[in-house]
């Protein structure tokens, strides 16, 4: 059969894989039930967060989590009816909240996100799309120095990975970012980062470039693999059969059901993430800013100021909750007291969270099915690198990254 790769998922990971495969001269069809960039790749903070390589499951999480769940100003929420179903995953997830596992996971994540800006530039440069990438600082705003020091473990791991912050306090903050309110008295500035002013539009532009390179985008839902010969030969979709020699599975949290068809039970949960776009906003920051007290990022975008963050566990079927959105509004008003907007847009999406906070990247046995999902809240950041790695594996290239931490069958 002629070499033909079916990429399942038209988010940043799938589209990146498609572009790199086309550059290698391989025929590619990207299949998604939605339009490119319309899912989680649309609804994020837009930050190319190279320094976001420390998992949430740091030492001390077990002691903090119960208090966070009952605190109305905490960025952690739970749909309590979903808890019984969540418990098996949650137990495995919390088991990693120790120093040895945190360091191991941080090393694995650094390889995927540590050169994010460069990977996005490599993806875009010869496509004429580099203008989508805005290089900037990435700032972490704290109530005071004590609040910054309370995260010393995380910052120590960042420094070890080469991400050392510049600290400013007091009036220096007002001079640097006048939009911030008086509650912020300490700021950690990370240089050499970047952001995308319209993440959904960016992925759409990449998908358009992919089709101009000769790739195909098919809007359909993938139902099953054809593995009758031991290796994949086709995927069954709602629009018919698509013959293929390899498959890239890059459909986020929905990849779990497809992995089950391969006999693998992946501990993957939906980390429900929210954002509010304050349209045509004034009084917001001039660069991406993480408000540490609310664990959300405020990013200036083409449409206005997007405030994105919050973690809620409640599965895929439930609609949006009011409390996370109300918290985002309170925190944004406190951080940016002069924020004004023409209108607001609310959004809820589902980040794919593995129990060990690492993505799945690689071939499942000798099936010809390659995984590229499970990036939690760093999908936009790590998408181009992941797509490039998977394309390299399919093309038989030497991959200069140890892929052991991301082995797709590590949970077997």
CATH of the domain at 372: 3.50.50.60
Tally of CA atoms within 13 A in the half-sphere of 163 that contains its CB: 29
Domain stop point among 337, 354, 371: 354
Phi, psi angle pair for 327, to nearest 5°: -65, -40
| Non-local CB neighbours of 204 within 8 Å, separated by 6+ positions | 35, 36, 37
Give yes or no: residues 364 and 231 share one domain. yes
Give yes or no: residues 211 and 350 share one domain. no
Residue 172 has pLDDT above 80, yes or no: yes
Q: How many domains does the chain have?
A: 2
Residues 59-62: contacts with CB under 8 Å, at least 24 apart:
59/97, 59/98, 59/99, 59/102, 59/153, 60/97, 60/153, 61/94, 61/97, 62/94, 62/97
Residue 412 belongs to some domain of the structure? no
Residue 97's CATH number? 3.30.9.10
Tally of CA atoms within 13 A in the half-sphere of 233 that contains its CB: 7
* pLDDT computed for residue 4 by the predictor: 98
Q: What is the share, in percent, of the chain residues with pLDDT greater than 70?
A: 100
Residue 379 has pLDDT above 60, yes or no: yes
pLDDT tens digits, 191-227: 999 999 999 999 999 999 999 999 999 999 999 999 9
Give yes or no: residues 82 and 133 share one domain. yes
Give yes or no: residues 59 and 130 share one domain. yes
Ramachandran class of 309: left when φ > 0, alpha when ψ lies in -120 to 50, beta otherwise: left
Give yes or no: residues 229 and 333 share one domain. no
Give yes or no: residues 80 and 153 share one domain. yes
pLDDT tens digits, 121-169: 999 999 999 999 999 999 999 999 999 999 999 999 999 999 999 999 9
pLDDT tens digits, 262-299: 999 999 999 999 999 999 999 999 999 999 998 999 99
Give yes or no: residues 205 and 126 share one domain. no
Residue 305 has pLDDT above 70, yes or no: yes
User: CB of 253 within 8 A of CB of 352?
Assistant: yes
Give yes or no: residues 218 and 281 share one domain. no
What is the pLDDT confidence band of residue 73, given thresholds at 50, 70 and 90?
confident
Residue 2 has pLDDT above 90, yes or no: no
Strands 268-279 and 304-313 turn out to be antiparallel
pLDDT tens digits, 79-115: 999 999 999 999 999 999 999 999 999 999 999 999 9
- Mean pLDDT value across the chain: 96
Closest Cα partner for 12 from 409, 378, 402? 378
The whole model's pTM is what? 0.96
> Rg of the chain over CA atoms, in angstroms?
21
pLDDT tens digits, 31-59: 999 999 999 999 999 999 999 999 999 99
Distance set, CA 116 to CA 7, 119, 254 (Å): 22, 5, 24
Residue scoring higher pLDDT (2 or 382): 382
Give yes or no: residues 143 and 120 share one domain. yes
Closest Cα partner for 137 from 175, 173, 172, 166? 166
Residue 1 has pLDDT above 60, yes or no: no
Give yes or no: residues 76 and 25 share one domain. no
What is the pLDDT confidence band of residue 187, given thresholds at 50, 70 and 90?
very high
**Quick check: helix, strand or coil at residue 378?**
coil
* pLDDT computed for residue 70 by the predictor: 85
Give yes or no: residues 141 and 11 share one domain. no
Closest Cα partner for 250 from 6, 43, 27, 8? 8
* pLDDT computed for residue 72 by the predictor: 83
Note down the domain range covering 20. Answer: 4-42+201-266+357-406
Give yes or no: residues 167 and 286 share one domain. yes
- The pLDDT of 221-237, averaged and rounded, is 96
Query: What's the rounded Cα separation, in Å, for the pair 79 and 366?
Result: 39
pLDDT tens digits, 343-366: 999 999 999 999 999 999 999 999
184 CA to centre of own chain: 27
Tally of CA atoms within 13 A in the half-sphere of 29 that contains its CB: 19
């Amino acid at each position: 059969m002629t070499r033909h790769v079916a990429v399942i998922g038209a988010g940043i990971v799938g589209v990146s894989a498609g572009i790199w495969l086309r550059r290698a001269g391989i025929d590619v069809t990207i299949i998604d039930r939605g339009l490119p960039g319309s899912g989680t790749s649309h609804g994020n903070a837009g930050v190319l967060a190279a320094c976001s390589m420390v998992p949430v499951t740091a030492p001390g999480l077990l002691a903090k989590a119960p208090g966070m769940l009952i605190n109305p100003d905490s960025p952690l929420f739970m749909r309590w009816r979903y808890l019984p179903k969540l418990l098996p995953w949650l137990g495995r997830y919390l088991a990693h909240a120790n120093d040895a596992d945190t360091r191991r996971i941080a090393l694995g994540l650094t390889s995927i996100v540590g050169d994010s800006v460069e990977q996005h530039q490599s993806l875009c440069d010869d496509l004429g799309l580099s203008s989508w990438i805005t290089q900037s600082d990435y700032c972490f705003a704290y109530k005071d120095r004590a609040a910054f020091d309370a995260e010393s473990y995380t910052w120590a791991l960042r420094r070890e990975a080469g991400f050392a912050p510049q600290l400013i306090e007091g009036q220096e903050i007002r001079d640097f970012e006048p939009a911030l309110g008086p509650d912020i008295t300490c700021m950690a500035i990370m240089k050499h980062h970047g952001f995308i002013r319209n993440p959904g539009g960016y992925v759409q532009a990449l998908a358009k470039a992919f089709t101009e390179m000769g790739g195909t985008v098919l809007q359909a839902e993938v139902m099953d693999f054809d593995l009758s010969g031991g290796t994949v030969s086709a995927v069954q979709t709602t629009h018919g059969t698509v013959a293929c020699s390899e498959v890239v599975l890059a459909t986020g949290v929905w990849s779990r059901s497809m992995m089950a068809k391969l006999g693998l039970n992946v501990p993957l949960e939906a980390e429900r993430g929210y954002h509010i776009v304050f349209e045509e906003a004034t009084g917001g920051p001039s660069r991406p800013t993480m408000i540490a007290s609310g664990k959300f990022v405020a990013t200036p975008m083409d449409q206005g100021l997007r405030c994105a963050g919050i973690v809620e566990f409640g599965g895929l079927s439930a609609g949006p909750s009011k409390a996370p959105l109300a918290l985002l509004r309170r925190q944004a008003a406190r951080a940016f007291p002069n924020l004004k907007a023409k209108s607001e847009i609310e959004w809820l999406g589902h980040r794919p969270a593995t129990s060990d906070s690492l993505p799945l990247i690689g071939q499942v046995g000798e099936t010809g099915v390659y995984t590229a999902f499970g990036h939690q809240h760093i999908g936009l950041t790590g998408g181009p690198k992941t797509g490039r790695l998977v394309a390299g594996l399919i093309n038989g290239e030497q991959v200069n990254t140890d892929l052991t931490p991301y082995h797709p069958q590590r949970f077997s």
